Chain A
Amino acid sequence: MTHRCVHAIPLLFIISALVFLLIHAAPGGPLAIYLSNPNVRPQDIERLRHALGLDRPLWEQYWSWLAAFVRGDWGYSFSDGRPVASRIAERVPATLELVGVSLACAAALTVPAGVYAAVRRGGWFDRVTASASLAGMSLPGFWFGLVLQIVFAIHLGWLPSSGRATPGADDFADHLQHLVMPAAVLAVVLASGWSRYLRGSVIDVLGQPFVVAAAARGASRQRLVLRHALRNALGSLVAIVAVDAALLVSGAVVTESVFAWPGLGSLFTEALARRDYTVLMALLMLSASAVVLFNIAADVAHAAIDPRVAR
C-alpha cells in the first residue's frame, strides 16, 4: 500500500506539469475579461499583469507555484485575490453534500436491485433492471437534468429548479428539496453501472465451488447470499465506488452547472471561464490526489470486507 503512495507522487508531479502547460496555453489569460472594457487602458492591463506575476517566464511560474503548493500555500485567486485554499474550502461542503447523498442513494438503489436481480436471474425484475440500467448508463446526464427541471420545477412546480437552499428559509426539508433532482441525476447514472456490476459479481460468486459446497451442506440460501456472496461482491464493488466517488469530488461539473449547485464543479467552470490558473491547478491536483487516496482506501476496505483477498 505504501508502494502505491510512493508511486503516486511522481505521477502527480507529471500530471501537474502537463496541466499547468495546458492551462497556460489557453488563449486569453486571466486579464482578457478586462480587455473588452473601454475604460481599461493598456497600461492598466500591464500593471495588472505584472502584479499577478504573469510576465515571468513559464517555467518560473510553474516552479514557484509548485514549491508553494507543496508547502500548503495554494496562492491567490486571479479573479478576486482571495486565497485559493479558502475559495476551495468554502465550496467543499456543497460538493460533499451532493456527492454523499448521491452515493448513498445510488448504493441504496444498487444493493437491493443488484442482489435481487442476481438471485432472481432471468426473471422479470432482472430484465426490467437490465433495461433501466442500460438506459441510465446511456443517458447524457445534463439532458436528463434539464428534462427533470422542465418537468418537476417548471411545469409541475413541485421542486426548486436549482441552487442549494432557499435563502432565508434554510431548513432541512428545503435542503432536501434542492437536493432531490441533482442527486437523482447522479444517483441514476452511478446506480446503473454499479447494479450491473454487482449483479454480475453476485452471480459469479454464487456459482463458485465453495458456495455450492456450503449449499450442499445445508446452509440456507439467505445465509449464503448475505454471508458469502454479498461480502465478496461488495468487496470488488467498493473499488468502483471509490473511483467514482473520487471523480465526483472533483465536482460533478455538468450536474452542478445545470442545477447551479455551488460546489467544486461550478467553481471549476467559473475558473475556466476566467482563466483563473491558480484555482484550476489546485482543483485538478486536489482531485487527482483524491482519486489516489480513494483508491488506496478502497484497497483497504476491500481487504477489510473480504479478508480472503490477498494483495
Chain B
Amino acid sequence: MTAVSGRCLRRTACVILTALAAVACRGRVNPPSNDLLIVGYDREPDTLNRFSTHILEDIQSCIVEGLTTTDERMRVVPLLAAEVPTVENGGVRLHTDGRMDVTWKLRPGVKWHDGTPFTSADVKFTVDVINSPAYNPESTDGFDRITSVDTPDPLTAVVHYREIYAPYDIQFIRGALPKHILEGRDLDRAQDYNRSPLGTGPYRVVEWKAGEYILLERVPHYWRGDEVPKVRRLLFKFIANTNTRINQLKSGEVHVVALVPWDKYREIADVPSIVVTKTPGNAYEHVTLNEKQFPPFADARVRRALMLAVDRELYARTILDGLAPVAHGPIQPVSWAYTDRITKYPFDPARARALLDEAGWRPGADGIREREGRRLSFTLITQAGYAIRENIAQAIERQLRDIGVDVTVQLHDGTAISSIWFEGRFDAMLHWWQMPSDPELTTFFAADRVPPAGRNINYFRDDALTELLYASDRTVDRRERKALLERAQAIISEAAPEIPLYNVTRLDAVPATLANFKSNPTNVGIFWNVHEWEIK
C-alpha cells in the first residue's frame, strides 16, 4: 500500500513536471509588426456606436471618421469635409437675427465600407436621428441648436443653427450615421451596427470576443489610397487592471498602451523596445472648492490661502516624477485661447497664514483655526484606484494641517463619486477635467451652470465672469473670442474658485519601431492618424 501510494505520488509528480516542461518550451511573444499590432486597452467598450458611447472612442475612431478632427496641436482639420468652414471662406454665414448657417463641402470619392458613397444625406440623417426623441444618444449638445439641414447636392450639407454656436467646427467630429442601413431602425437595439459599425475609416471590425478583445482589419480600399493603412490588423485587448496592462507591455504581450500612469513611467522608461511619448494634454487636475456646501470657501481670502499653502511645484517634482507641469488655470498651454497673464500663487505658507488671520480664522487650542465657534475643517474626496491622486490628496492634507486647516481625506469609487459631485454633496474634491478641444468655459464657471444645469461644481458666482463667458460662446471670430477668454482667465485666477494643480501630460507607450506616431491632447485619442503608422 505504501508502494501504491508512493507510486501514485511519483506518477502524479511526473505528469505535472512533463506538463510544465511542455508549457515552458514555447516562445510566446509576437513582436510588433505591420501584420499585427496589439493595443492594451483599459476597458471593454459598451458599444462602438460613437454617438451612444461617451466613454472612449479610440477604437471607433479607426472605423468611423468625422467631418473634421483635431490634430496633435489641437487644431481643427478637415477629414471627410473638404475644408473647415469659416466666416472668411464663406462657409459660415451669420444672420442679423442671431441665426447661423454652416455649409459643409464634403470630400468627393469617399465610400462607406460596403461601397455605398458617403453623401450629405448621411449628415442630414445623423442630425435628424440625434434630434429625434426615439433615440437615446449620450448627448445632443449642439445638435439641439440645429433647426434643419439642407442637402442641395450629394456633397454639400447646409446646417441651420438657431443661434450662434462657436464650436460648430467640431459638431461632426464623431462622424455620421449611414442612412442606407440605419434608416427607420431603433438605434439602441441595432446590435449589428453597435457591435460592428459601418464607417469610412481605415479599419473595420473583424471580431469582438466578449471580455477579451476586438480585432480590426484594414479595409482594402481606403479613400486615402490603397497602400494605407500599412498596419494590417489592430487588436485591442481589454485589460482593466493597470498593473496587469503595464506588465503585459513590459513582457511584450501588448505593444501599445495609451495614457500610462505617471507612477508607471519609470518602470518602462528603460525598456529598449518601447518609446514613451510625452504630450501636454488638454486636461488638468484641480481641487474643487464647493462654496455651497462649505460656506467658508465663499471667502476669496480663504481660497487664496489654500492655494498658497500647497506646494504644487514640489508635488510635480516628486509625486509626479517631474512628468506634469503645474497648472494655473482651466485653459492649458496647448489651447489657442491660453494666456500666461494671470495671477500666480507660488508656495508661500507664511502669506497663507496671514490671509487666514486677516479673514478672521485664528488657531484654536489644537492648532486648527476657528472663527465664531466653527472649525476650519473639511472633507476632501477623490476617486479611489488612482494611486497618484490618492497620494496627492494625502500630501495636501499634511500641508494644509501645517497652516491650521483640518482636512479629512475620503476615497470613493468612480461611480459613487460621480453622483456625489453631481449632487454637490462634498466640501472639496480632487478632480480632473478633460477639456473639450473648444475652449468653452461656460459650463464650468458660469453662475447659472451649477449642477444639474452644468458643471460649475465650485458653485462659484461672479456676474462679470458669467457675462464674459456667454459672450465668448457667441463669438465666432477667433481673435475676439480669445480676448474675451483671456479676460475670463484673469478673473478666474484672481478669484481662485478652485486650486488648479497640474496640467495632465499624456504618456503613451508605443513600440520603438513604430514610425509616424503622433499623440493627441484631446479625447480624439492616439489613433487619429493610425493610417500613417508603420512598423519599420
Contact = CB atoms under 8 A, between A and B. Distances in A.
Interface string A160-185: 11111111110001101100100000
A122 B47 CA distance: 60
A38 interface: yes
Contacts of B12: 108-109, 112
Contacts of B194: 80-81
A116 B136 contact: no
A244 interface: no
A35 B55 CA distance: 11
B253 A163 contact: yes
A51 interface: yes
Contact of A51 (B3, B136, B191): B136
A48 B413 CA distance: 22
Given A40-B139, A112-B5, A116-B9, A167 B237 contact: yes
B55 A33 contact: yes
A158 interface: yes
B241 interface: yes
B388 to A, nearest CB: 18
Contacts of B30: 166, 168-169
A91 B210 CA distance: 8
A226 B7 CA distance: 14
A270 B414 CA distance: 12
B251 A153 contact: yes
Contact of B26 (A174, A180, A223): A174
Interface string B134-155: 0011111100000000000000
Contact of B136 (A47, A162, A221, A275): A47
B212 interface: yes
A239 to B, nearest CB: 23
Contacts of A51: 136, 188
Interface string A21-54: 0000011111011111111111111011001000
Contacts, number: 206
Interface majority SS (helix, strand, loop, mixed), chain A = helix
A119 B22 contact: no
Contacts of A109: 12
A266 interface: yes
Interface string B409-453: 000111111111110000000000101100000011000000111
A90 interface: yes
B293 interface: no
Contacts of A168: 30, 36, 235
Interface string B218-261: 00000000000000000101111100100110110100000000
Contact of B251 (A120, A157, A221): A157
A164 B138 CA distance: 33
Interface in A251-288: 257-260, 262-263, 266-267, 269-270, 273-275
A163 B38 CA distance: 13
B536 interface: no
B4 interface: yes
Interface string B46-84: 110000001100000000000000000000000000000
A38 B443 contact: yes
A130 interface: no
Contact of A162 (B26, B137, B247, B453): B247
Specify which of B237, B238, B239, B415 lies most central, judged by the most chain A CB atoms within 10 Å of its CB: B415
Contacts of B22: 173, 176
Contacts of A243: none
Interface in A107-164: 108-109, 111-113, 115-116, 119-120, 149, 153-154, 157-164
A275 B415 contact: yes
A27 B237 contact: no
B28 A166 contact: yes
A2 interface: no
Contact of A225 (B4, B46, B433): B4
Contacts of A42: 451-453
Contacts of B250: 154
The 4 closest A-B pairs by CB, nearest first: A262-B211, A42-B452, A222-B1, A80-B46
Given A38-B433, A44-B140, A80-B47, 15 more contacts: A36-B418, A38-B436, A42-B452, A43-B140, A44-B139, A153-B251, A161-B251, A162-B239, A166-B28, A167-B213, A167-B237, A173-B25, A225-B5, A273-B414, A274-B415
